[in-house]
Every structure is written in C-alpha cells, then in structure tokens.
C-alpha cells in the first residue's frame, strides 16, 4: 500500500529581542515616577477639594444664621395695634425693649400681633391684671442670642410668664442665665458673634465668624446690617 506524502510546511521561528536589565530598571523607574506623580497630584486635589467643601459649608451656615437673626431683629420692639392694658411696660427696662451687651442680645416683640407680649388666653383677655402678667407662651415672643463656649445659645425660658411687677423687668437681665444651644461644636465653632449699633435704635450690625472643627485654619467671616422696621424705642 502506498503511503500518502505529507507536504511539510517550514516553521519560521522568530527570535524576540530580550530586554536588558538596564532597560527593565529604567521602565520600572519611569513607571514609579508616573505613579508617584499621579498620587501626589491626586492627594493635593483631594485636600484642596476637602478644604473648599468645608469652606462652602461654613459659608452656607453663616448666611443661614445671619438671615435668621435678621428676620427677628428687624421687628425688635414691634407691638400690634390693640395696646389696651398693654403688658409691654412690665418687661421694659429704662423704656427699652432690648438689652445689647456685646456678645449677647435679648429683646422682645409682638410676634402674633395681638398687642401683648405673649399670647392672650382668649381674644378678649387682657394682657395684664394690674402688675401681674396675664399672657401665655411668653418665651415665643422673647428672642435672645449669645456666644458661649464657641456656640450660639438662644433664649427659651418661660419663667417670667406669671411674673409680678418688678420681677418682670428681670427678663432683659437674662444674659447670664442658662440658655438653649442653637449651634453645636460638633459641626463647627463660632469664634465671633457680635452686635453693634451702626445707627442707634435704627441700624444694627452683626459680625459672625465660624471655623471648622476639622481644620481650625478654615474659617468664614460675615458682616451684615439689619434695619429696625419699627425703631427700638416705641
């Protein structure tokens, strides 16, 4: 039996050029340099981004705080039209409806417009019975803000609701009392909260400075003015 002849195909073997040790080391060195450069620039970018993020956070918080303060301060001393048997004079100090003590401001105004400080028991109820205060929810119409241990505290005290005579006037002397926290050191630090008259009883200036708890070098300062719509003295 005849065997079939198989055509042989010649196989071409290519000889790859081998890398020398020097070339390998150079390649590794360049790769390391590129990796280190990328890591360096990424780290810088991340740090910068974090700082900007914290700065924007402080800016947002500062403007929100000042806006809230302005909303209430502009109405300082306001009283609705129904002033019969008004109880405002029970709480006034030297004919003023506020006390400004640098880093503490406490004042009151007729938030619900019923002519009383606090809420009438009924629509026809008097604000006072002689020298006895006769309103409820007094603290809702008393506003106080002060800086204490890097935090803003606000007034929330109803102890004067049933006050009599001279004891009512102690309300505006409450800056030294314990108030409720309005901001928290767990979020940011309040380095400055200051109230000053730019024009007595007409234009008040608010200075506020916040700093980061993550990096004390990051801070944001804000100065804002607020016009009193009714004047501080009524």
Query: Percent of the chain having pLDDT more than 70?
Result: 83
Mean pLDDT (the chain, rounded): 87
pLDDT at position 132 is 96
Residue 17 has pLDDT above 90, yes or no: no
Q: Is 194 within 8 Å of 161 (Cβ atoms)?
A: no
Phi, psi of 158 (to 5 degrees): -100, 15
Measured from the Cβ of residue 27, the count of other Cβ atoms closer than 10 Å reads 11
Query: Which tokens sit at 194?
Result: 């200051």
Helix (H, G, I), strand (E, B) or coil at 148: strand
Residue 108 maps to a domain: yes
pLDDT at position 48 is 77
What are the pLDDT digits (tens) for 26-42?
777 777 777 776 676 65
Least confident of 65-69, 117-121, 186-190: 117-121
Residue 214 maps to a domain: yes
Residue 191 maps to a domain: yes
Residue 115 has pLDDT above 90, yes or no: yes
Query: Which tokens sit at 116?
Result: 């009383």
Number of domains within the chain: 1
Residue 13 maps to a domain: no
| CA dihedral angle for residue 85, residue 87, residue 93, residue 99, rounded to 10 degrees | -140
Sort strands 219-227 and 203-211 into parallel, antiparallel or unpaired: antiparallel
Residue 99 maps to a domain: yes
Residue 107 maps to a domain: yes
pLDDT at position 188 is 97
Edge-to-edge strands, sheet with 142-148: 98-101, 104-108, 142-148, 151-154, 180-181
Range of the domain at 109: 50-227
Q: Is 212 within 8 Å of 220 (Cβ atoms)?
A: no
pTM given for the model: 0.78
Higher per-residue confidence, 149 vs 123: 149
């Amino acid at each position: 039996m005849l065997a079939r002849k198989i055509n042989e195909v010649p196989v071409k073997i290519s000889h790859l050029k081998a890398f020398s040790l020097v070339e390998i080391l150079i390649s590794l060195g360049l790769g390391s340099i590129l990796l280190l450069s990328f890591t360096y620039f990424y780290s810088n970018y991340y740090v910068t981004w974090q700082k900007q993020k914290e700065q924007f956070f402080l800016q947002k918080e500062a403007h929100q705080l000042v806006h809230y303060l302005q909303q209430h301060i502009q109405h300082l001393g306001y009283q609705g039209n129904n002033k019969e048997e008004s109880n405002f004079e029970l709480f006034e100090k030297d004919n003023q409806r506020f006390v400004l003590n640098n880093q503490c401001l406490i004042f009151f105004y007729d938030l619900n417009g019923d002519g009383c400080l606090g809420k009438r028991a009924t629509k026809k109820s008097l604000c006072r019975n002689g020298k006895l205060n006769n309103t409820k929810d007094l603290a809702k119409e008393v506003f106080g803000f002060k800086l204490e241990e890097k935090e803003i505290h606000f007034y929330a005290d109803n102890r004067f609701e049933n006050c009599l005579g001279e004891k009512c006037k102690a309300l505006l002397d409450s800056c030294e009392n314990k108030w409720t926290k309005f901001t928290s050191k767990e979020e940011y630090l309040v380095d400055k909260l200051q109230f000053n008259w730019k024009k007595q009883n007409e234009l008040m200036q608010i200075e506020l400075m916040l700093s980061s708890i993550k990096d004390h070098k990051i801070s944001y300062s804000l100065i804002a003015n607020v016009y009193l719509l009714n004047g501080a003295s009524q």
